[in-house]
Amino acid sequence: MFSTEYVPLMIIGAVFLVAGVILLIIGIREEKDYFRTISNNVDVRKYLEHKSDNIQSWGFKVGGITAAIIGLVLLIMGLVFRLWG
């Protein structure tokens, strides 16, 4: 590989990594807000603890982890190509 061919791969990896971290932060914040509002209402909390399906914050977390893993893999691939290229 030429010395500049690894740069786009590393840039895409960095973008995925940053997006993953941002999504993880948003997911954690959404989950905290959700549980903070539930904890103020005793009756609602007792009901929802058995059926707590807050899919939005869970989706942000899973998407963030997936994007972070893809970003790390792409960054590592770019570094390997740079060192061996």
Q: What is the pLDDT along the chain (85 residues), one digit of tens a residue?
A: 556 778 888 899 999 999 999 999 998 888 888 777 766 666 666 666 655 556 677 888 889 999 999 999 999 998 888 888 6
CB 15 within 8 A of CB 71: yes
Whole-number Å distance between alpha carbons of 58 and 34: 12
| Domain boundary assignment for the chain | 6-84
Name the pTM for this structure. Answer: 0.71
List for the chain the helix, strand, coil content (%; round to 5). Answer: 85, 0, 15
